[in-house]
Structure formats: structure tokens, C-alpha cells
Amino acid sequence: MARGTFRLGCDIGGTFTDFVLIDDDTGEIHIHKLLTTPEDPSEAVEEGVRELTNRIRLPVDRIGEIIHGTTLVINAIIERKGAPTGLITTKGFKDVLELGREIRYDAYDIFAEYPEPLVPRPLRMELDERVASDGRILKPLRDDEVRQVIHRLLEQGIHSLAVCLINSFENPVHEFRVKEIVTREAPQLFLSISYDVLPQIREYERTSTTVANAYVKPITARYLGRLQSRLEELGFSGRLYIMLSSGGITSVETAREFPVRIIESGPTAAVIAAQFYGKMFQIEDIFCFDMGGTTAKSCLIQKGQAGLVSTFEVGRVQRFKKGSGLPIQVPVVDLMEIGAGGGSIARINRMGLLQVGPESAGASPGPACYGRGGVDPTVTDADLILGYLDPDYFLGGAMRLDREAAQRAIEEKVATPLGRDVVEAAFGIHDLINEVMGAAAKTHIAEKGGNPQVVTIAAFGGAGPVHAYGLAKKIGAPRILVPPLAGVGSALGFFTAPVAFDLARSHKVRLEDADLKELEALFAELEAEGAQALQGEDPEQGVLFERWVDMRFVGQGAETTIPLNGPPLPQWSKEEIRGLFDTHYQALYGRTYPDTPVEFVTFRLRARLPDRPFRMPPVKGPEGGVEEARKGSRPAFSLLKGDFISFSVYDRYRLPPGAVLEGPAIVEERESTVVIGEDARARVDPYGFLWIEFEEA
């Protein structure tokens, strides 16, 4: 690396911003954590980089690259803080954002609500043009009409514009012409055309995704500009990468152009880290569990690979009901996210029952125990009352927790209304959040055909290792893996992600009628676009390509994604392709229909650079044995006995490889705390990973 051997990972969460700095030459790792600055997240990034580099006396210009993950985009959509956006579409299609699929997400709820479109109806304009489904131009585009529509939208104060014309994925000539005119007539507008953002079938999803990209494009550009300026002022002159929702990382330029691709930027990194650890230890089934201050994210990794989905929803009116949100059709790691974090607020609901989350105290004011003005009881407050957290060692002692404030909040808002004492109320909060996460985890695992009784839970986040034991008991998992630096696991996961970009293009044709040479030419175009997206990277590394194709039975409404790596398409026989489809379809659904014709629908490609070197350095064995790492003991709540018992407390940094800890025990590090019940045992491996297993397992 020309500018230095150091790389920095920076993950902005709802409560904390995490930093991990690694020296590629020595494997030495430095970490830092501070509260997020919600009004301008780049402020916390600047402050954290300055504090970390000053602490270890490292000039910022020695950092060769910074990898960044952010929740800015998804928060802007959920909170409706994007830019005033207009939509230009084909005549007759201006209401597609409200019509959607015309499917009720709850057939029996006559008051069912749907999310408001990101573009209100007065800002949706039509053009009297038409392209057929096979790409033929049925009605030409008129330049004068385009100019009139643009100026009408400008008069209404739009800052960003989405263009989505019918069937443009087959022939984008009209969208390209609109782009030329907009660039000339209104160069100040942020522009997104659907052929660039999502050249795929399904008009509603394509329009919704293009609109979402346009809606967040101005604020993303401003944020990335501020971030770059702040880093340059600190002396940083290396490469700045942004984490993609699909598990790769990309340049700032690409993220600025396609911000919808980074909508799940932060949560994805922990999954990629868990996938890396699974390959490192040859574990086939891992349940990645990342619980931070605001949310809990999880993903089932099977056969060493995290799944990808092509469509997901944001801003659901009903959190767990599919169809109640805005569809976004971009590649996303298949993770589940629920409002269950350390900052999740506990309250008594209208039924007089205890409810925890999804509302969060966030970074400001935060849990009551933070002493920053928060008065609502949270999961962190409950964990403190139950003895799992040391008020004098939170963030390694950098932030002292106020136990009296936590007790007062739980007593006033939960214990007294329920007629319980504070400890019972705190246990109720802790156990309920575990139950909520356990039920969601079992559902997620079952949907993927997994078995919770064989998975290894990989715990990440500041609150993940605290609750992993309780979660494992809820779902019946036999083993927990807590990696080193688990509290900043997402930031560490950035280093395991490849530089990559995913592309897709729809072209519907029956297998029997397909010209495989033409389809190979389509893949060649995607490869050229992928290589272009990675421009500016090291050309000597070469770009690698992975291929998939979405196929289905003719007349079917859903596709099956088939990996198509190997020789170029013309070297395949159509019988081999059909056999590959039947094999995958039967594996998914138990049977296939060999006499029913199939068709190609969408062609997918990932362009990536070769994997970059990353290794977990072996732990330098501290002097002394397990007893030397023992800090003492303190009473903490036993989930098995329902009462306080004595837990041995250990300093994780002083645990030597090979150490075995018998529960009940608490292992503390600066960014997180690991709770081990009395029916479990933990061992430390040569890399400092904690492996927790249960007696019955």
C-alpha cells in the first residue's frame, strides 16, 4: 500500500460510532468507540479518527484506506428527510407508486395503512411515449414535451429527479434522451434514471427503487462531501470506501451515484465478519447475532455463505408484515433486523403489559444510566441492575454508568405500574427482549431451512455478548462464539469484505428460443460496466466476475437464481442449462416439471477484485493462568435460578490461550461484556475467540 500499511474501519450506529485500525504488516489492532452525533454523523467520524490517531501517535497520512458503513440512507427514508423529488414516467403510470401490486398485506384489516410515496402526486409527471416489452418504439419521445415537464417540476421546487419509463430495461433510448435534456436544461438537479439504477422487470419495484435513489441522492452527496473534507483536513489522503448492502465495498463516487446500494451498509459488515470466521474455523451453520444500542441484526450463514436477496422493504407501517413498506430492489445480504438494542425503551402498553422496543433512546439522550438526561428505562439499564455490567468499566471506564438513575427509571416506569420490585422488573425487561429476539431468530432460521439446535451463534455488538447466552437458551443453540473485539465487530468486518459491485439486467427469452451468443454479449456488457464501476482501483489486480441467471417456468411469477460460473455461455448446451435449473429447483421445492418449458428473466453479475489479505493475529499469551485474569466476583442475576448468585469476573485481555472458564462467569472487555451462565463453560482459543458450550450439549 503506497501511503501506509494501516487501514481504518468506521461503523456509524444509532448509538455508537466504532473504529478499528489495523496494521497490515504486523496484524496489530487498535480500537475506539464514541457516541454517534445524529445531526451530522461525520462529526463523530472526525472526532474519533483524531482521538484514535492521537492516542497511538499515528500521523493520519499513514492510513492508506478508510472503510465506512453508515445508516444515513435508510434513516433518511424512514424519517422522510430526503430531498424534494420529482418523477417522470410514461403516460398512464404516474400512480404506480400508490397502486403497487394491489395486494393487501393484511386481508382482514379494513383500516390497513400503507406508506406514503416518497414523491407526492403533484410532483409526478407523464410523457406521451411508449416502448414495447420487446424494445420496439411504439410512440416516439418528443423533446419539447420533456422540456415542458422539466420546467414544471422545477417551478415546484424539486432538487432531485427520478426517470422511470415503461420497458426501458429492454430499450433505454428514451431514458437516455431525457437524461441528455435534463443535463442541459437543469444541470443543478440530481438525476437518477431507472436504466442506470435498476434495469429489471417489475415496474412497481423498478420505479420505487429509482425514486428512493433520487430521494436520498442529494443528502448522501452532501454527507460524503463533508466526510471527505473532514478527513482531508485531518491529513488523510488515501482511499475512502463505502460498505455496500450486498457485502462488498465500493468507492465514494459509486456510493454517491447509487446511494440506494448502501441502504443496509452498516448491518451487513458483521455478517461478512461472521462468514469469514465460519470459513476460518470450518463451521457450516452460523447464526450471526449483532446487537447494538438501537437494533439487533441477525443472519443465518449456511455452508459458509450468507444468502443474498434481491428485494426488501424499508419503512414498514407494520414492522413484521411484508407488503407494508417501500420495496427496494437491490442486492442485500439476507438479514433480519428488529428494534431490540441496548437502548430499546421499556414501557407499559395500553393492555397493561410490559413492552420493550422498538423505540430506542439512541445516543441522545440515551439510556437513563448514561446520565445524559434520559428518563426512560432501557435494556442497558436493566442489564446494569441485574449485575451484568460494571458501572465503572463501561467502555473501559471512559463512561461511568449511573446505577441510581437506572433504578429510578425502572421503578417509576415499569416496577411500580406492575406492582413488582425493581429486580423483577429488570429481569422482565431482559428476558422479554431475549424472548422477542429468540422468536424472531427461530422464524428466520426456519424460513431458511435451518435448525437452531445445530447453529453456532456468533455474537457481535456492545450488547450482543451480554444477551447471547439468554438467546441461545431460548432457541436451543449448543454453542456461542464471541470473537475478539466483538463490540466493534461490524467495523472489523469491513476488512474481510471484497471491493465489488453487483449488476443485473432483465431480458426475457425462452431457453429453447435463446441465442446463447447474444446472451454472452449481454454478460460482456455487464462485465464492462462492472469493470467501469471499479475504475480507479489497482489495475494490476485484475477484475474477477461471478455470474447468475434468474430462470422460471414459462408463466410462473417468481424466479429461481442459478449460479452460472464456468465456461462462456456458447460452450454450454441448452440441455446442460435446463439440467442445472431442474437440479436447483428440485433442491428448493422437492420436485420439478421436466416437460414444462423454462425461460431466462434476469442476468446477474458481480465484479470484484481479488480478496485482500486479512488475518486474525494469534493472541500473545499473557503471563499467568486463568486466576491471573480473574478480577474478582460480583452478584449477578441467574436466568436459571431466578435470583442473584456470585459470578466470577475476568479481564478478557489477560486470558491466555487454552484458558477454560466455568460458569457462572462474566468476561469484560472495553467494548462489550460476555455473560456465561452456570450451565456453560468457555474456552479461549489461540486467536482469542471465546467458545461457550452448554453442559447438555
Full set of structural domains in the chain with CATH: 6-76+221-262 (3.30.420.40), 82-215 (3.40.50), 265-339+432-496 (3.30.420.40), 344-430 (no CATH), 500-608 (3.30.1490), 626-677 (no CATH)
pLDDT of amino acid 622:
67
pLDDT of amino acid 320:
61
pLDDT of amino acid 234:
93
- Burial annotation 608-632 (CB, 10 A radius, 16+ → b, else e): bbeebeeebeebeeeeeebeebbee
Q: What is the pTM of this model?
A: 0.83
CA distances in angstroms from 80 to 44, 155, 245, 275, 403, listed in the order given: 23, 22, 20, 33, 36
pLDDT of amino acid 158:
96
User: Cβ of 288: how many Cβ atoms within 10 Å?
Assistant: 31
Q: Which residues contact 19 (CB under 8 A, 6 or more apart)?
A: 8, 9, 10, 31, 32, 33, 48, 49, 52, 488, 491
Give the CA angle between residues 260, 263, 265 to the nearest 5°.
125
pLDDT of amino acid 2:
42
Reported residue count of the chain is: 697
Measured distance between the N- and C-terminal CA atoms of the chain, rounded to whole angstroms: 46
* Amino acid letter, residue 467: H
pLDDT of amino acid 1:
38
Q: Which residues contact 648 (CB under 8 A, 6 or more apart)?
A: 630, 632, 633, 661, 664, 665, 666
CA distances in angstroms from 526 to 368, 520, 522, 602, listed in the order given: 52, 10, 6, 12
pLDDT of amino acid 538:
55
Each residue's pLDDT tens digit, 243-271: 998 888 888 999 999 999 998 777 788 88
**Residues of the chain below pLDDT 50:** 1-3
Each residue's pLDDT tens digit, 83-120: 999 999 999 999 999 988 888 888 888 888 888 999 99
Beta-sheet strand order (sheet of 160-164):
124-127, 85-90, 160-164, 190-193
**In this structure, are residues 195 and 144 in contact, taking their beta carbons and an 8 Å threshold?**
no
